[in-house]
Amino acid sequence: MVRIIWQNRILSLILFIVLIIFFSCQSDKKLLNNPSSQKPETEFVNNLMERMTLEEKIGQLNLYTAGGDVTGPTMNGNYIAKVKAGRVGAVFNALSVSFNKELQRMAVEETRLGIPLLFGYDVIHGYRTIFPIPLAESCSWNLELMEKTAALAAEEAASAGINWTFSPMLDISRDPRWGRVAEGSGEDPFLCSMIARTRVKGYQGEDPESPQTILACVKHFAAYGAPVAGRDYATVDMSERMFRDVYLPPYQAAIEAGASTVMTAFNEFDGVPATANSYLLDSILRKEWGFDGFVVTDFNSIKELNNHGFSENDEMAAILSLNAGVDMDMQSDIYAANLMNLVKSNRIEEKKIDEAVRRILIMKYRLGLFRDPYLYLDEEREKATIYSNKILNHALASALESIVLLRNENYGGGKILPLSKGIKNLAIIGPMGKNKLDMLGCWHAAGDERKVTNLFEGIQEQVSQLNILYSLGCDFEGEDISGFSHAVKTAQQADVVILAMGENDAQNGEAASRSQIGFPGVQSRLIAEIRKTGKPTVLLVMAGRPIILNDEEQQIPAIINTWHLGTQGGRAIAQVLFGDYNPSGKLTMTIPRNEGQIPVFYSQKNTGRPYNPKDRFTTKYLDIPNEPLFPFGFGLSYTQFDYSSLQLSDSIISPQEELVVKVMVRNSGKISGEEVVQLYVRDLVGSVTRPIKELKGFRKILLEPGEIRWVSFTLKSDDLRFYNREMKFVAEPGAFMVYAGTNSAECLSAKFNLIP
């Protein structure tokens, strides 16, 4: 009898469990079928937040550094105690699987709710394998290549336990005094926007849960690239029109491409520091663009509101930032120290904290960290990925395409470049000749200089029979000229001299503005001494920004802008010097004649008094031409491209129609080469004045010797939009010029009309 009762009880229990499973499956299905129901991520995060105390919520809003990135991360900071107490949302500069695993273990196993950490890092142009600085790579105009660079940088960083990069930097800049131009993609909003999308796609891939992809962080929001007088961190002040036409588009493109996070800028904008600027963070970013990720500050920016004179104290700084839309506090500790009291004293709404926490937890959910906090932490993967051949090979491909040939004159019967492999004695002179560290450029993450192939080694590898002489000559800074005489003697013994000049990795990048942007130190004096030897000379400009060349330097028959090319830099330069690779890079920043031309960019306005050499009262300088030394889009090849027959499909289009622009390009030289064909437009009359040229399209094509190709572009009326007098983004009917050519200054032109 007792047995039967027990059997019945067990049967009812089983029936009960089956029913529960059945109904829960039904409700899951309902969740999937009913679009209005919550997404699993929202449901998960809401459930989690219900269990969180206010203190735990505030904990998620803090990002701390694990120490300097040169000496490596440290477990000694007091951030460790905070991790163990569940008071940290994310850590940056924590590198390697073993290190991050230990931090993650503390967060997951030693805290009440076990919420995993995010691991951030400045993977700006690579993690360990260093690619060319972003400005250099933008000169490739090769979006596929840039997407792959971002994807491989993500893969390498992710293998070491990183799941969030503070990149891409999308600050347009037209001022090469500003050191951070190295991290961006130059001066043009159209090109920068394309690159913005590309890099976000590269970092984030299709699947956020893949342990090979990482979160992107768009920075620095906004207009950080336009500091007064080019001085880093200085005030930004510009018209709303300029902001929307030029500075905003790349950030917007990145958000449209799905960028997960945004970093606020150090600067103020229209009198309000970006970190407390609700117009930027709320009205534009969240409301206009529908951004649903989270916003992090730049380093200590909340605290700096006090220095800006925008807040009186830390409490006020916390209130202003949170209310403006800042979710995560990088390193200032102000949220951690103040938010609790501010809620208790009703000076901020707890709802605001909830919104910020929710955005951060959702990103952790999307990364798959709640499913597996150790997803990114696999030692085997780390070993197999770092410095793998796949990544190194791509770093070489990227370095090759980043190089811009600026000048290549006839010298003794032919062009000086490419050099003949029959040369017997080659002298490499200058501080970049055997340098490894500075080849990596600014923000070189965890790049190891020992893995760099420098210029000397690159040439040695490329041309086996060559006698390579070397002299340092001078350093990047200081007044020491004691190395000059050795350098001159070395040059005298050579058939050809390579001058390896430029900037070191600290002479550009953050906090590295320069008022004079020629070669720093005594390098120009050394160049002048070497020139006196009369030897055929090639000048390599190896720097993080456009460098101004003095009159004598401009006369050197061959000049190559190599930028800072990263781990594979020496190999790439050697291939270009000896013609194993035909250079194809084109400038994405104008190179001025002197600092007086700054801000300098191709898309200027015509003015009421456009320059006329016969009329004194027209816009000009008395001492130099208006034209820069090298315009936007400029770059030579070892072959020659001829442009002809610019044709338009019609001379009139309506807003619904497309205009097809065709131009014929011929490789009239003797070797194959790549050319970036560029398309520009000018709106001749507008309700507000328009630039004399704006980039609207480009194609990079490979042509064999003698090959002819029609290159076509399609223009729609949408491509002609701008912010009109009423700040509406529209295309205005009227006459337009269209230009196609090899750079922004040398183009064929035609005219068309847009009718209403």
Catalytic residues: 298
Pure H helices in 325-378: 334-344, 350-366
- Quickly count helices (H) and strands (E) in the chain: 22, 28
Q: Give the Cα-Cα-Cα angle 487, 491, 494 (nearest 5 degrees).
A: 145
Q: Is 299 in the site for ligand NOJ (CB under 6 A)?
A: yes
CA distance 483 to 363: 55
CB 126 within 8 A of CB 156: yes
CA distance 11 to 703: 78
- Contact flags string 504-523 toward ligand NOJ, x per CB under 6 A: ------x-------------
Closest approach, Cβ 444 to ligand NOJ, in A, equals 13
For ligand NOJ, the closer CB: 265 or 324:
265
Closest approach, Cβ 126 to ligand NOJ, in A, equals 15
CA distance 132 to 356: 35
Distances (CA, A) of 403 to 198, 370, 744: 20, 44, 18
Phi, psi angle pair for 264, to nearest 5°: -75, 155
For ligand NOJ, the closer CB: 149 or 167:
167
For ligand NOJ, the closer CB: 166 or 247:
166
Residues comprising the chain, all counted = 756
Where in 530-549 is the site for ligand NOJ (CB under 6 A)?
none
- Contact flags string 324-353 toward ligand NOJ, x per CB under 6 A: ------------------------------
Chain-centroid distance of CA 539 in Å reads: 27
Q: Name, in order, each residue with C-beta under 8 angstroms of 661's C-beta and a sequence gap of 6 or more.
A: 646, 647, 648, 649, 679, 712, 713, 714, 715, 738, 740, 750
Closest approach, Cβ 510 to ligand NOJ, in A, equals 5
For ligand NOJ, the closer CB: 73 or 691:
73
For ligand NOJ, the closer CB: 468 or 512:
512
End-to-end CA distance of the chain: 92
Q: Is 219 in the site for ligand NOJ (CB under 6 A)?
A: yes
Closest CA to 168 of 195, 139, 141, 142: 195
For ligand NOJ, the closer CB: 166 or 365:
166
For ligand NOJ, the closer CB: 335 or 484:
335
Closest approach, Cβ 167 to ligand NOJ, in A, equals 8
- Contact flags string 109-128 toward ligand NOJ, x per CB under 6 A: -------------x------
Size of the site for ligand NOJ (CB under 6 A): 6
Q: Give the Cα-Cα-Cα angle 245, 250, 255 (nearest 5 degrees).
A: 120
Closest approach, Cβ 318 to ligand NOJ, in A, equals 20
Closest approach, Cβ 166 to ligand NOJ, in A, equals 3
Closest approach, Cβ 664 to ligand NOJ, in A, equals 44
Among residues 64, 99, 166, 581, which is the contact residue for ligand NOJ, using CB under 6 A?
Answer: 166
Q: DSSP for 683-695, please give it.
A: ESS-SS--BS-EE
Closest CA to 100 of 126, 75, 68, 127: 75
Q: Is 203 in the site for ligand NOJ (CB under 6 A)?
A: no
Nearest residue to the partner ligand NOJ, using Cβ: 166
Among residues 298, 315, 327, 438, which is the contact residue for ligand NOJ, using CB under 6 A?
Answer: 298
Closest approach, Cβ 56 to ligand NOJ, in A, equals 25
For ligand NOJ, the closer CB: 136 or 720:
136
As beta bridge partners, residue 662 has 647, 712
CB 561 within 8 A of CB 615: no
CB 499 within 8 A of CB 537: yes
Pure H helices in 71-224: 79-84, 97-109, 134-138, 143-159, 189-204
Q: Is 674 in the site for ligand NOJ (CB under 6 A)?
A: no
Closest CA to 631 of 652, 662, 600: 600
For ligand NOJ, the closer CB: 491 or 512:
512
Q: Is 378 in the site for ligand NOJ (CB under 6 A)?
A: no
Closest approach, Cβ 157 to ligand NOJ, in A, equals 14
Which residues here bind ligand NOJ, judged by CB under 6 A?
Answer: 122, 166, 219, 298-299, 510
